[in-house]
Structure 1
């Protein structure tokens, strides 16, 4: 089966290089444009999704609705709490920089991303959530779009391919920028991930 993974469009938090304060962060104008463009690109392929699984965070829900409107207005959208972004804990609202002016807690976590951030989650927590969603999607069997967040989609891609999660995180090989998408073929012992033409 095939999935298309889509990272939500840009928000003002993304534009300011800040961790979101809450799940109620909307897309900004650039984010809406990114998603509309992505929807047009997906619609121009031979991929025909039958369902959209989306994080229930506002920015992801808006992304899913915009994609549906461009690709197929009747496409069902299923909100899933397990597709939420990593809980950034005490880093909410702070800078995403790991440089000298950045957050020391974030820099420390980057060295051991499987462990938990202060007051938040680690990659191992996200992996447990994502494994549940992957099972549901695989059992369902329909070609689908999955709308989520940078960390969550990195974890999903690593799990689907049997890649080492910490190494995948450090290498950034599964990273998607805001509004970007990737085609993922499932199942296979180790799925095949490749970008669609842009």
Structure 2
């Protein structure tokens, strides 16, 4: 049984922003596909990431009109994209939505912390801890393995330099696919919300 993800193609330049912080992020709640808005910290993170991205493109002499801007359809990602584009001097709404970029869903666990869940279903929390890659939360949840199939299908359609605003889980599996990482590493990859991630010619940079 293979333990390493197949390395998928890189479109030459792929820029990723995670949405800014929400109150549920700050509280450690499983957010998944619940539509939770940015908090004040998240708004500032989105603006600063827009400034970082603008500086990067100017230094690299890349015209933003050459890039395909796309975001998950959830409110926190749309707001992050629009704040970032405003800081870049671009029309805030001139981007497209991509359903496949939604966060993985935690099913009936959404809105709860792991500590809360451990009080009623400690055996499930232990199963998740033992196999975070393959564990499927109850109530229609998704595993990282399932999310990887969704994101892999999307990545195969990316055929031009792109700016993506999506979620922590999406970044983890995207990085796993672009770099051919071990499956067990993928769910544990850090995804700060105040960093712009850039894959350029197959190498990851953070600004």
Deviation (angstroms), 1:6: 0.7
Is the alpha carbon distance of 1:21 and 1:42 closer, same or farther for their aligned partners in structure 2, counting shifts above 3 Å?
closer
3-state SS of the aligned residue for 1:136? coil
Is the alpha carbon distance of 1:107 and 1:43 closer, same or farther for their aligned partners in structure 2, counting shifts above 3 Å?
farther
What are structure 2's unaligned runs of at least 5 residues? 1-11
Deviation (angstroms), 1:107: 4.1
Matches of 2:187 and 2:172 in 1, distance apart?
7
**Aligned partner of 2:164 among 146, 152, 156:** 146
Aligned to 2:8: none
Aligned length, in residue pairs: 186
Aligned to 2:101: 83
Matches of 1:66 and 1:155 in 2, distance apart?
25
Query: Normalising to structure 2: TM-score of the pair?
Result: 0.80
Matches of 1:167 and 1:103 in 2, distance apart?
25
Measured on the aligned residues, the alpha-carbon RMSD in Å equals: 2.4
Does structure 1 residue 178 correspond to structure 2 residue 193? yes
Higher relative contact order (CA 8 A, sep 6+): 2
The answer to which of 121-130 and 74-83 deviates more is: 74-83
Query: Normalising to structure 1: TM-score of the pair?
Result: 0.83
Aligned to 2:4: none
Aligned to 1:194: 205
What are structure 1's unaligned runs of at least 5 residues? none
Matches of 2:114 and 2:194 in 1, distance apart?
18
